[in-house]
Amino acid sequence: MIWPFVRGLLSFYVTMSCASNRRVTSWYDSCSDIQGVLLDISGVLYDSGAGGGVAIPGSVEAVKKLKQSGLSVRFCTNETQCTRDHLVTKLSGLGFQVKRDEVFAPAPAACIVLKDRNLRPHLLIHPGCRPEFEGVDCTNPNCVLIGDATDEFSYKNLNEAFRVLVGLQDPILISMGKGRYYKETDGLTLDVGVFMKALEYACDVEAEVVGKPAKAFFLAALQDMGVQPQHALMVGDDVVNDIGGAQSVGMRGLQVRTGKYRLEDEHHPTVHPDGFVDNLKQAVDLLLQHRGQ
Amino acid sequence: MIWPFVRGLLSFYVTMSCASNRRVTSWYDSCSDIQGVLLDISGVLYDSGAGGGVAIPGSVEAVKKLKQSGLSVRFCTNETQCTRDHLVTKLSGLGFQVKRDEVFAPAPAACIVLKDRNLRPHLLIHPGCRPEFEGVDCTNPNCVLIGDATDEFSYKNLNEAFRVLVGLQDPILISMGKGRYYKETDGLTLDVGVFMKALEYACDVEAEVVGKPAKAFFLAALQDMGVQPQHALMVGDDVVNDIGGAQSVGMRGLQVRTGKYRLEDEHHPTVHPDGFVDNLKQAVDLLLQHRGQ
């Protein structure tokens, strides 16, 4: 059979031409056993920003092809500026085929933690995310829960959260993610992890992270797909939270050179992605080619 | 001579009655060689807050007695919400005898650092502190300098500072202090160190601290008094920045139980004050009694 050989050669040249002067990736040589794929959303599918953001070129088609391939697909996001419903509506508006139940986000995961442990949170979150916490008892708070609150991260609101924490015998700080920054259409933007660190320092506590890179978060998505970690691939733009998190449960992690990607990520001191691709389109093309699809 | 013995006995009972159920301090037994005293301002002289704050009972008289005693006295503050002139005016209004040249504050120290190293700062500081930076070139910034900016620590302003830092080849972050919180009249309030940690995490840099607990800051005040560290005493309410900082240059450090003091400070994992006193008044009374004044 000459065809697989030609196809392999072709994808090699595609990678070389797209990634000129970068190291040649070979993650796809061993991807034939992949059964499920987790996709980060912001920075992989689209860049968020004013007016709803913009799709990253090729991503709409890539998601479509991936779903048609028969592989299991879930979307694993640390998005906490809005509800999953809102996110799905926004993505649909950009042309993506994404269903609510395919999206794993920190707010629903946080609600389970709060209920399990009888916690009443002081919420420092984005107004768009509040509906996810409807029905949660927030009276007489015994913990602080923060998300990507953006403009709500005012000095006044941070002080309020601080005073709740410092007044507790055993302060509990729960953070929906620990990212440093993400890419908006107008540039890099501070993420929730920065304010988590601020409150950690203020109160001398260590936050509990719900969302990526927490192992439980990846495992819940894998369980939903019915796929073992060693047969699953995470595609993300965050070297620590997407790639490092996925690898910590035994998945493979592929970093895209879109979104918040920076050249330094390719020489990260602790996290070594299984591969780099220029964008989601290239990831899906190579994955499907090497699976013979 | 029976009198020194009686006086010693008296001060022992004063301490015991003031510090009932707390461990007995004995720092004053070896204070006869003290030649100079550094006083923190906020939390020791007064509690800041709306309307200019309030003097801590006994502190006005204590400063007066200390200055009359012939000991060298300087005020070592991390105050960066206003200029030294403004601070001195405010303290005078509360009855304190403090001269501008006796006050060591981070902003003038930062100006020297900026000049020495040809740095053009992006300033994230309190509007009241801006006059201290008049004449400093802030065009095309090659570093970020932060102070206790309070309400200026908005998400927008933190993002601006972050984008300057993340755009620099070698990001330099200078922080005027690294305190966690201080006491305002209406409660504990976040200090500059919290936002320093936030930006450190966002950009993966380590800030350079100007002000307490930097050694250079204490040494400058000691040099101005002409007193060797082993003959100097720091009185402060911040166990890490006042006491730890002073001890790191060889001074003794006395913590007051006013201002931001919390019971946990008496069992701090790394800093062990040479003594605790209920307030500045008690510190000065014991010091002068044991020096035979």
| pLDDT tens-digit map of A61-76 | 999 999 999 999 999 9
**φ/ψ bin of B55: left (φ > 0), alpha (ψ from -120 to 50), beta (otherwise):** beta
The arithmetic mean of pLDDT across residues B269-277, rounded, is 96
SS3 B14: helix
Q: How confident is the model at residue B50 (pLDDT cuts 50, 70, 90)?
A: confident
**Residue type at A274 in one-letter notation:** D
What is the pLDDT at residue B15? 46
The arithmetic mean of pLDDT across residues B70-76, rounded, is 97
Q: Which of residues 11-70 of A touch B (CB under 8 A)?
A: none
Q: How confident is the model at residue A19 (pLDDT cuts 50, 70, 90)?
A: very low
Task: Work out whether the CA dihedral A260, A264, A267, A268 comes out positive or negative.
Answer: negative
Residue B208 to chain A, least CA–CA distance (Å)? 17
Output the average pLDDT for chain A: 91
Output the average pLDDT for chain B: 91
Q: How far apart are CA A218 and CA A216, in angstroms?
A: 6
What is the pLDDT at residue A2? 47
What is the pLDDT at residue B292? 78
> Does B153 sit within 8 Å of A151, measured CB to CB?
no
Q: Which two tokens stand for residue A246?
A: 């996925």
What is the pLDDT at residue A97? 94
User: Tokens 């936030």 belong to which residue?
Assistant: B198
Q: How far apart are CA B191 and CA A199, in angstroms?
A: 11
SS3 B118: coil
**Bridge pairing between strands A187-190 and A181-184:** antiparallel
User: Tokens 């204070």 belong to which residue?
Assistant: B31
Is B166 near chain A, with CB under 8 Å?
Answer: yes
What is the pLDDT at residue B258? 96
ipTM field: 0.84
The arithmetic mean of pLDDT across residues B112-124, rounded, is 97
Q: Which two tokens stand for residue A196?
A: 């988590």
Q: How far apart are CA A146 and CA A124, in angstroms?
A: 5
Q: How confident is the model at residue A186 (pLDDT cuts 50, 70, 90)?
A: confident
Answer whether residue B18 shows pLDDT above 90: no
Answer whether residue A273 shows pLDDT above 90: yes
Q: How confident is the model at residue B293 (pLDDT cuts 50, 70, 90)?
A: confident
Q: Strand pairing partners for B254? A: B235, B275
* Exposure class string for B153-177: b at 16+ Cβ within 10 A, else e: bbbebbbebbbbbbebeebbbbbbb
Residue A5 to chain B, least CA–CA distance (Å)? 44
**H or E stretch at B69:** none
What is the pLDDT at residue A51? 83
What is the pLDDT at residue B52? 82
The arithmetic mean of pLDDT across residues B164-189, rounded, is 94
Q: Which two tokens stand for residue B13?
A: 């009972």
The answer to whether the bond into A213 is cis (omega within 30° of 0) is yes
Could you tell me if B159 and B28 are in contact, meaning their C-beta atoms sit under 8 angstroms apart?
Answer: no
Answer whether residue B10 shows pLDDT above 70: no
> Does A201 sit within 8 Å of B193, measured CB to CB?
yes
Q: In what side-by-side order are the strands of the sheet with A143-146? A: A121-124, A143-146, A173-176, A208-210
Answer whether residue B240 shows pLDDT above 60: yes
Q: How confident is the model at residue B48 (pLDDT cuts 50, 70, 90)?
A: confident
Answer whether residue A9 shows pLDDT above 60: no
> Does B201 sit within 8 Å of A162, measured CB to CB?
no
Question: Which own/partner pairs from B133-139 qualify as long-range (CB within 8 Å, at least 24 positions apart)?
Answer: B133/B107, B136/B111
Q: Which two tokens stand for residue B210?
A: 């100007």
Residues in chain A: 293
Q: How far apart are CA A261 and CA A283, in angstroms?
A: 15
Q: How confident is the model at residue A92 (pLDDT cuts 50, 70, 90)?
A: very high
Query: Which residues, at least 6 apart from A206, have a Cβ–Cβ distance to it below 8 Å?
Result: A173, A200
pTM of the model: 0.84
